[in-house]
Structure 1
Amino acid sequence: MPRIKTILMAGTALASVLVLTPSPAAAQSTTKPKAEEQQEAETSTAKADRETLLDTITISATMINEAVFDSLSATSYVGDKDLERIQANTPADIFKTTPGVGASMNGDDPATAINIRGLQQYGRVVVTLDGARQDYWRVGHGSGSFYIEPDLLKAVTVIRGPVSNAYGSGGIGGLVAFETKDAGDFLNADEQYAISEKIAYESNGEGFTTSTTAAIRPHQAFDIIGNVNWRDRDAYEDGHGDEVRWTGEEVTSGYGKATFRPAQGHEIKLGAIIQRYEDYVTGSSGSTSATLSRYDADTINNTYTAKYTYFDPDDRLLDYAFTAYHNKTKAEQTQVWPTSSIGNFRYYDVRTTGISGHNSSRFDWMGLAHTLTYGGDYYYLEGESSASHFGQGEAQAYGGFLQWMGHYSSWLELIAAIRYDGYHLDGETKGTTTTPPEDESLDGDQVSPRFTVGVTPFTGFQLFGGYSEGYRAPGLQDVFRGSGAHDTADGYIPNFGLKPEVAKSWEGGVNLKYDGILTESDILRGKFTGFYTKVYDYIETDFTITPRMTDNIGTARLQGVEAELIYDLGWGFINLTGALIDAELIDTDNPKYKGQPLENAPLDKFSATVGFRAFEDQLIFGGQYLAVGEVKRTQRSSGTNPGQVDGPAQYSDAFELVNLFANWIVSENLKIDLAVENLFDVAYTDPQSAWSYTSDVEQGKGRTFKIGVTTRFGG
């Protein structure tokens, strides 16, 4: 951890030097020959292309689309070029360098749980796919919360903290929004149709991926895109060359999306995404136990969306979007070990149906440019399972918000917002041999404010700070769970007295946007953020009491700093990211919990990605360095010691990885992607995963060679 802090300080110093160095372009004024003027024009065009990539417009905490480095919040963006470079097999691969974000994932389970600043699972982080909430959960060591195939995606936006609560109930940790490609992202401007085929191979966990994409645009008012992916992997090896058991899987996925433009400014999108996963899951990932439960799992995730938007730059009163969606995730699991339990069957079925909408109105008054944004959302969630440890029932959540933004000249930006949230849960009490279960319900509501100020004292340098609150209702799993692993003699019981979690957060930061610092064509973009958050009535299973239950065990405190810096010279670039975060329990009546770290708290980490461009930007190649600090975990419990939450600490060692990449556009019809992950074959276990500490092998993937070949034809 000291090394990571030193590296972060060095990165910050580099940013300061770049910001304070005067621009050569500003210090010189000479008459240039026409040849130089032509060269400058070409350089200017290339620079404009790079600026477009760095300043891509995406969703923001205000629900008004803007560039990441213009937003007054801790926002990160992973675009299509980044996804191509990463060549991700899992969602966890996407977030390795995103500050403040961890992806909890085990090799034997393709489900993923996102952790932002120490908060994850059961709705603390809102995860959407084309605007549809992904709310799946199950119970077990390393249980995930959603399924998404990276090959389906064009971009991912992350908004950290409760400032993102305009996007729906529960997001006290933040928002992760996944987007799939539109036909317009795939087709060139002069094309009516195109088809591509990608074949990829990787050496570790030897396997193949195929991805077929096709799109047509018979008229400017209509287009459609479709994609089918197939991925098959064997079990991979760790850095020592040992096989990591149960890590193979087969995945079939695809999507279709049709876009209609019935009139100027109006757009309708209809989409369907289908994903199927066939793999093995274990009851305690990585354990060497001879009686370890293992299941042959078949999981299907279906997402259906309909979105209607209207935008006309001349219409200052109407700028709206409405979305309706349905997501269904069903996992069927058949036990294959131990022999005494072969054939046992269980299933998990989670369905979410929802709608959301908002509109923005703009006007000028008293020297300010005003924007009012207002809207609401509702979703209905059903959870059902044959397993008693699953908190089945029905949940309804609804909310509305009103937000005002004011701009004065080019140096002052003000935001004030208020959101109302409400919820209603329906489930059953725990039955006994003499008492049948009875219906039970729970509800509540809350009003949450937000205030933010942004000041730009001089061009390219913006300071921002503010306060925000978020509200997260107890989940069905929290309230209605009736059993679980390592049951005590008295088992688990539901808790109908659970209070919602309330997050209160202070956040401040700096946005940097500079061009022409050391050369006439270089570009600098940066975002530095500090935060201090308290989550009151934090919910977690209380292991100190019997029978066990989920309870409000105290206040969680999250604090830290995050940084992103991109410097692009045209012929090359460097991207630095880092985070130092502390997340622990305070203000708790139970001394055994006070000062304990949150489960799966995010990692202190630093990354440096260096890339080079050649052959008129047709070839991009480089390397990436990733350093992850030591993580301390607290021994929560054991089957024989149900009250042990202050037992011996568990440590995950720090580790450092080096990756290489190359993306080569050979011609307009052929592209080759190459990568080497974990170049030095480091043996490690990512502490964001929930692999058992009793495992006899490391769980991180050893050295892996990847190659992908994509052919494309259009006309």
Structure 2
Amino acid sequence: MQNTNQITKRFALPGILLLVGACTSSHADELSANAVAELNEATLTANEAAQVDHTLADSNTVTSEELERWSATDLEDIFRSSISVNAAGGRPQTQDIFIRGLQSTTANVTVDGAPQVGAIFYHAGTGGSIEPELLKSVKVSAGTGNALSGAGALGGAIAYETKDGFDLLEDGATVGALLKGTYYSSGDGGYKTSATGYGLINEDWSYIASLGYSDVGNYEDGDGNEVIDTEYQRTSAFFKVSGNLTEAQSLSVSYEYLEDQSIGAARMNIAPAVSADGTSYKERNTATVHYDINPANNDWVNVETNAYWTERSLQDATTETSITSIGFDLRNTSLFKEAAKVTYGVDYREDTYETDKTTAGDDAGDVLGLYAQGDWDVSEFVTLSAGGRFDRYTLDERGGVDVDNSGFSPNGTIIVRPTEGLEIHATYAEALRGAYPTQAYFDTVTQDPDMKAERSTNLELGFEYTIKNYYIAANIFQLEVDDVINPGYDRGTGLRTNVGDFETTGYEIMAGAQFGALNVELGVTESDPEMTYYDGSSDEEYSLVGTNTGRTWFGNLEYVFEELNLITGWYVSYVEAIDSDTARALREKSSYTVHDAYLRWTPKSLDALTVNLTLSNVFDKYYYDQATFAYTSGYAASGRELALSLSYKF
């Protein structure tokens, strides 16, 4: 393992190189603040001058505009340019998400505030079924965060937020519709269609209703070989009503349905030698109700309430398995003379893991949390944030074993701004996750009644600096998870208990600049995970906990042709080769460089029409994404693929 000094040295050299590269670029007129915002929102104006404002948090936030430019269809597309995230797995149904090398099962993943917890079956992918077409934004909080990240956020949080009618309506319009179709070229090809209607019920209330369908065939890898059993059909439906009950009260009610139908049994992330028989289905149903109270001229009351029900299921020819979660989050934010605020609340969630492989009943778990988080602008140079959570977990296993865990998780951050344009931050944060049900697919697991809670500790130091139209931002981090609970079970004893400790260290660096209509970004990221078991043995990859990938370099260029109403972009990533120890073998993971490009055009003579052209893996590279489960036993990445999308807004 690396110590902090080693991390700092590894971080310093690439950071200096990036800064020098940025500062020696040719100077250009500075952009105005409005122009920067407009460029980020994909409108086609960027002429005036001002200072760039960019953070690493921006590099982990995906907007709906970005999703549309890249014709996003799966998790790999969604997180293409997120600096802290890897998403891989081949076909969408087997894709996993890793935040700084940690599996998303260690994070708090939510859709409109509804947690998507646990794993149905690790072979089925755990990244979560999501339809990019419906997303307003995706926000990633990397590493153990503050008390507002939710219960059990050992490795961070991912928040998917869906659109509402207000997001799509043009100024002055009361009703609208969006029709969209996309063609995919790789292998057998395929298509995706969607129809969305939205509008105002009255001036205070909006609605949105959307239906989507995709039929995508087997894709080809970079060598031109058909990758069998990657075909799928997806059906989606979404409805949301939102608005104001009074001047001080708002309400939002939504329901989303998503079904993926694909070839093969539940062990779907292992690439077969011959096409499998049978069909498998992954399904998600999510319903949410948001109710907020925010009276005018009252700094003490800003209540946010979120209640939810969500069910995820996996079905093959012989088995049906599901995880159902129901719960709520109630919080209030109070302001103190505009210099400080405190958010405090309570959340509760109950999870039921069910499989028809047994008649012995269900596994169930719940968690009750109390939390508070305060932020205080001590001066114009210093901001402090501190808070904590107290969580109590209970596990009721179908075999009669009960486990209770509870504990307090503190956090603190200091932000210092010693000079204009420079911000330095340091964070210490803990998170606790108590005993929880094992993968829903397993029916013969015995829980250890003395199982201990997992506890993560995150240390992070970073800075962000902007000067004129240049910026650079960086983080170094060290995250430890003590007393990791086996995500599966010991196949020899059938017992599930704590197995050891996990640690990852690393860094993230991003630099960039804006020159008129041109936006340039460069970056590098690396994490070094290690799982150490109680018997002293160790490895760098452990299913449903973490994965090991090589140092990753990336660059992103975007250019706006204002006169043509056109924006185009080019993204390139280079992943260095790495040797990674696993519980079974030493994996040699090869390096690769992948290029992607897009072009988005709205004709001035017909501004209701948008044409989007995306070319993924431009040079048809054959490779396995290093974050792919089982690596070369999984699915090779897709070769060159053209996606042509047409959308028309009424």
Say whether the fold is shared (TM-score over 0.5).
yes
Report the CA distance between 1:617 and its aligned residue: 7.0
Q: CA shift at 1:498, angstroms?
A: 2.1
Q: Structure 1 residues 294 and 705, CA, compared in 2 at 3 Å: closer, same or farther?
A: same
Q: What is residue 335 of structure 2 aligned with on the other side?
A: 362
Query: 1:623 and 2:570 equivalent?
Result: yes
Match of 1:594 in 2: 538
Separation in 1 of the partners of 2:472 and 2:359?
45
Tell me: CA distance 1:712–1:74, structure 2 relative to 1, closer, same or farther (3 Å). Answer: closer
Equivalent residue in structure 2 for 1:46, among 35, 40, 51 = 35
Shift of 1:590: 1.4
Which runs of no fewer than 5 residues in structure 2 stay unpaired?
1-8, 44-51
Shift of 1:24: 9.0
Identity %: 22
Residue of structure 1 equivalent to 2:373: 403
The one-letter amino acid of 1:442's match is V
Give the counterpart of 1:470 among 431, 436, 441: 431
Where does residue 321 of structure 2 map in the other structure? 348
> Is 2:598 the partner of 1:661?
yes
Counterparts of 1:237 and 1:20, CA distance in 2: 41
Per-residue deviation, 1:479 = 11
Task: Give the Å deviation of 1:541.
Answer: 6.1
Paired AA for residue 663 in structure 1: R
Other-structure match for 2:364: 394
Question: Which of 508, 514, 519 is residue 573 of structure 1 equivalent to?
Answer: 519
Give the AA of the match of 2:17. Answer: A
Identify the match of residue 15 of structure 1 among 6, 12, 19. Answer: 19
SS of aligned partner of 1:151: helix
Q: 1:312 to 1:617 in 2, by over 3 A?
A: farther
| Structure 2 counterpart of 1:78 | 62
Give the SS at the match of 2:347: strand
> In the alignment, is the contact (CA less than 8 A) between 2:149 and 2:156 conserved in 1?
no
Partner of residue 482, structure 2: 536
Instruction: Pick closer, same or farther for the CA change 1:550–1:606 going to 2, 3 Å.
Output: farther
- Per the alignment, do residues 634 and 23 of structure 1 end up closer, same or farther by CA in structure 2, a change over 3 Å counting? closer
Give the corresponding residue for 1:262: 245
The one of 89, 98, 103 aligned to 2:87: 103
Does residue 1:250 correspond to 2:257, yes or no?
no
**RMSD between superposed Cα atoms in Å:** 3.2
**1:448 and 2:409 aligned:** yes
5 Å-filtered alignment, 1:64-463, equals 76-107=60-91, 110=93, 112-122=95-105, 124-135=106-117, 137-205=119-187, 206-282=189-265, 283=267, 285-288=269-272, 295-311=278-294, 314-334=297-317, 345-364=318-337, 369-387=339-357, 392-429=362-399, 439-463=400-424
Specify the alignment match of 2:4 in structure 1: none
**Deviation string, structure 1 residues 9-56 (Cα, Å, up to 9, x no partner):** 556534367579999999xxxxxxxxxxxxx9xx675345347789xx
Correspondence for 1:561 among 490, 507, 511: 507
531-540 or 472-481: bigger deviation? 472-481
Aligned to 1:680: 619
The 8 Å contact of residues 28 and 516 in structure 2, kept in 1 or not, is answered as: no
User: Who wins on radius of gyration, i.e. which is larger?
Assistant: 1
Match of 1:613 in 2: 560
Contact 2:89–2:625 (8 Å) recurs in 1: no
CA gap 1:471/1:616 in 2 versus in 1, 3 angstroms = farther
CA contact (8 A) 1:286 1:694 kept: yes
Give me the whole-angstrom Cα distance separating, in 1, the residues matched to 2:197 and 2:120.
35
CA–CA separation in structure 2 for the residues paired with 1:170 and 1:45: 39
Deviation at 1:87, TM superposition (A): 1.4
Asked whether the equivalents of residues 585 and 594 of structure 1 are also in contact (C-alpha less than 8 Å), the reply is yes
SS at structure 2 position matched to 1:693: helix
Query: Whole-Å Cα distance in 1 between the matches of residues 53 and 115 of structure 2?
Result: 22
Contact 1:537/1:552, CA 8 A, preserved across alignment: yes
| DSSP-derived class of the 1:636 partner | coil
Q: Distance in 1 between matches of 2:361 and 2:512?
A: 45
Question: Structure 1 residues 543 and 276, CA, compared in 2 at 3 Å: closer, same or farther?
Answer: closer
- Give SS of 1:326's match: strand
The one-letter code of the counterpart of 1:687 is Q
Equivalent of residue 649 in structure 1, options 564, 586, 593: 586
Distance 1:75 1:24, change over 3 A: closer
Amino acid at match of 1:49: E
Task: Summarize deviations over 1:237-280 as a string: whole Å, max 9, x none.
Answer: 11111111100000010211111212224321111111111112
User: Is 1:357–1:377's contact at 8 Å kept on the other side of the alignment?
Assistant: yes
CA distances 1:306-348 after superposition (whole Å, capped 9, x unpaired): 11123467431112211001001222211xxxxxxxxxx1001
Alpha-carbon separation, structure 1, partners of 2:582 and 2:367 = 34
Cα gap change, 1:564 to 1:319, in 2 (>3 Å): farther
* Letter of the structure 1 residue corresponding to residue 423 of structure 2: Q
Opposite residue 256 of structure 2, the aligned amino acid is I
1:295 shift after superposition: 4.3
| Structure 2 SS opposite 1:162 | coil
560 and 325 in structure 1: CA distance in 2 versus 1, 3 angstrom threshold: same
Deviations 1:97-143 (A, max 9, x none): 32231224342x52543221232254x11111111111252225353
Amino acid at match of 1:418: G
Alpha-carbon contact 2:94-2:123 (below 8 Å) kept: no
Whether the aligned pair in 1 keeps the contact of 2:598 and 2:614 (CA below 8 Å) is yes
Which of residues 498, 501, 510 in structure 2 aligns to 1:552?
A: 498
Cα distance change on mapping 1:8 and 1:52 into 2, 3 Å: farther
Moved more, 453-462 or 563-572: 563-572
Contact preservation (8 Å) 1:452, 1:465: yes
**539-548 or 405-414, which deviates more:** 539-548
2:131 touches 2:236 (CA, 8 Å); kept in 1? Answer: yes
Compute the displacement of 1:223 (Å). 0.9
Contact map agreement 1:99 1:605 (CA 8 A) in 2: no
1:668-701 CA-to-partner distances (Å, cap 9, x unmatched) read 2110000111111111111222256357xx6110
Whether contact under 8 Å (1:498, 1:552) holds in the other structure is yes
Calculate the TM-score normalised by the size of structure 1: 0.81
Cα separation, 1, equivalents of 2:442 and 2:113: 29
Cα displacement string for residues 453-504 of structure 1 (whole angstroms, at most 9, x for unaligned residues): 0000112210000211011123200799554xxxxxxxx6443332111011
The number of equivalent residue pairs is 627
Secondary structure of the structure 2 residue equivalent to 1:348: strand
**What is the alpha-carbon distance in structure 1 between the residues aligned to residue 269 and residue 439 of structure 2?**
23
Secondary structure in 2 matching 1:685: coil
Q: Distance in 1 between matches of 2:55 and 2:293?
A: 23
Q: Could you tell me how far 1:230 is from its partner in structure 2?
A: 0.8
Structure 1 residues 216 and 11: alpha-carbon distance in aligned structure 2, compared to 1, 3 A threshold = same
When residues 288 and 606 of structure 1 are mapped into structure 2, their CA distance, relative to the original with a 3 A threshold, is same
Return the alpha-carbon distance in structure 2 between the equivalents of residues 355 and 68 of structure 1: 35
Query: What is the alpha-carbon distance in structure 1 between the residues aligned to residue 308 and residue 359 of structure 2?
Result: 28
Secondary structure of the corresponding residue to residue 141 of structure 1? helix
Residue type of the alignment partner of 2:501? T
**Are the equivalent residues in 1 in contact too, given 2:194–2:212 (CA < 8 A)?**
yes
The normalised TM-score by structure 2 is 0.89
1:67-101 deviations in whole A, cap 9, x for unaligned? 99579x79721112211122111122211332231
